[in-house]
Amino acid sequence: MDVASEHCECFHRAVSYLEIRDLEKHFVKKSGGLLSHHTDTIKAVDGVSLDIRKGEILGLVGESGCGKSTLSRTLMQLVPPTSGSVILNGENLSALGPHEIRKRRLDFQMVFQDPYASLNPRMTVFSTLAEAVRQRHPKMKGSELEKKVTDLMATVGLDAGQMRRYPHEFSGGQRQRIAIARALAPEPKLIIADEPVSALDVSIQSQILNLLKKLQADLGLTMVFISHDLGVVHYVADRIAVMYKGKIVELGTADEVFHSPKDDYTKRLLASIPMLKAV
């Protein structure tokens, strides 16, 4: 190895926040009749290796059922991988026990497709956000906690005067802002957003996408942005990984993948974007 590429390798390692190595998540299902011993294996994640760099938005795109959500759950250690490893800041998460994993998990938070389903309808915005803040600061209370919740609401563009309201009193876009604030509350370093705008009106989608981009820029967050929509992913992501049947089939800068795709599957995904929906 010459000096230049050696340097390159070091630089690459230094900026990689999350390393996914040969990750597999298989589901085994019984098939046939009650007495049958036959099983089918669904290779939802089938040998994925990816580096997520500090401070980037990595877009993960692919059609429904290709394994995006399973990949995100596996890399957050919400489900154990079948094989392979997830290395966070140089530390192999797969080797840690449940207690240690729970501590590390504060550093990576998720935002889901349906904010209404992911928010507790019986908790006010204040209670929801205060509970999430206390995951990081268990002793915080009173005016300090209220100030923190006020700041979080401002960060996601919500009126702090509404913090005593319940989720159903907000619009879909506002509810997704609450869900984003809750993800930010434990001061994570990485956010995984799994189809965060897929349930929203097109007119609201770009507001939420712009908010996520702003948060990444202002807070230096690292983000994995998951969507089935290549147009949406191109709008927010710095790099795009294309997933097909459990594997990453293409990886490049957002513009490379969007404007000059190499893989046939990416070309098909691109051709399927309705022109009016492209943002």
Ligand X SMILES: Nc1ncnc2c1ncn2[C@@H]1O[C@H](COP(=O)(O)OP(=O)(O)O)[C@@H](O)[C@H]1O
Residues lying near ligand X in the complex (CB under 6 A) are found at 27, 42, 44, 62, 64-70
> The tokens of 232 are what?
């949406």
Q: Which residues contact 86 (CB under 8 A, 6 or more apart)?
A: 18, 19, 20, 21, 23, 74, 75, 77, 92, 93, 94
User: Binding partner of residue 81 among Mg ion, ligand X, none, CB under 5 to 8 Å per kind?
Assistant: none
Residue 127 half-sphere exposure, CB side, CA atoms within 13 Å? Answer: 10
- For residue 72, the minimal CB distance to ligand X (Å) is 8
Single out the segment in contact with Mg ion by CB under 5 A; choices: 64-72, 177-185, 204-212, 240-248.
64-72
69 binds Mg ion (CB under 5 A): yes
Q: Which does 196 bind (CB under 5 to 8 A by kind): ligand X, Mg ion, none?
A: none
Q: Which does 231 bind (CB under 5 to 8 A by kind): Mg ion, ligand X, none?
A: none
Between the alpha carbon of residue 14 and those of residues 11, 37, 228, the distances in Å are 5, 48, 30
DSSP at 33? S
Least distance between ligand X and beta carbon 44 (Å): 3
Instruction: Kindly tell me the sign of the dihedral angle through the C-alpha atoms of 122, 211, 52, 184.
Output: negative
Residue type (1 letter), 24: E
Query: For residue 53, what are its two tokens?
Result: 């760099």
Whether 225 and 59 have beta carbons less than 8 Å apart is answered as: yes
Which residue has 């589901």 as its token pair?
27
When the beta carbons of 30 and 164 are compared against ligand X, the nearer one is: 30
Least spacing, CB of residue 8 vs Mg ion, in Å: 34
CB of 197 to ligand X, least distance (A): 15
Number of neighbouring beta carbons within 10 Å of residue 19? 17
Q: How far is the CB of 246 from Mg ion (least distance, A)?
A: 13
In terms of CB distance, is 67 or 186 closer to Mg ion? 67
Is the CB of 70 or the CB of 222 nearer to ligand X? 70
Residue number with CB closer to ligand X (41 or 171) = 41
Q: Which does 205 bind (CB under 5 to 8 A by kind): Mg ion, ligand X, none?
A: none
Instruction: State the number of binding residues for Mg ion (CB under 5 A).
Output: 2
Q: CB-wise, 112 or 170, nearer to ligand X?
A: 112
**Least CB distance from residue 71 to Mg ion, whole Å?**
9
Residue closer to Mg ion, measured from CB, 61 or 221: 61
Q: From edge to edge, which strands make up the β-sheet containing 247-253?
A: 108-111, 190-194, 222-227, 57-61, 239-244, 247-253
Please give the residue ranges that form the binding site for Mg ion (CB under 5 A). 68-69
